[in-house]
Amino acid sequence: MSETVKNKRRFGVMRLADAVVGGYRLPLAGFVSILHRISGMLMCLLLPFALYLLDQSLRNRVSFDMLHYFTQSGLVKLMLLALVWGYLHHFCAGIRHLFMDFHVGLDKDQARQSAVGVLLVSLSLTALVALKIFGVF
């Protein structure tokens, strides 16, 4: 093994290219952490748009009716569902990270279990909201 590879492993430095070429498999907790960042970015980028829609819906009845008609499109419903998933996942993963800040669930098995829990809870709640958005109940 070359000296640079040994140094990278010793100091814990790994580039994305090393992970892809070397076949590094990201643990589930790392995957949830990356999704936490993506969901936060999604909410941050869509916040001005959501606030604009809220402002337009509160102006008068005509603009509310126009926005109501606009949100009946399947594509818009999917975009809303993505925003809902972003919020729910970010919320659940944030609670997980708060527990980790208090040194609860830091070992490998507990971290994996909490990551599975975050995915199950956020996806289950998103599925319930999807049923509501698409008019099942």
- The answer to the question of residue 6 being in a domain is no
Structural domains of the chain, count: 1
CATH number of the domain that 108 lies in?
1.20.1300.10
Q: pLDDT digits over 4-55, tens only? A: 555 555 555 656 566 666 667 888 999 999 999 999 999 999 888 889 889 9
- The answer to the question of residue 16 being in a domain is no
- The answer to the question of residue 39 being in a domain is yes
Whole-number Å distance between alpha carbons of 89 and 66: 30
- The answer to the question of residue 86 being in a domain is yes
Phi/psi zone of residue 105: left (φ > 0), alpha (ψ -120 to 50 degrees), beta?
A: left
Q: Specify the pTM.
A: 0.77
- The answer to the question of residue 108 being in a domain is yes
Query: Which residue range(s) make up the domain with 78?
Result: 26-133
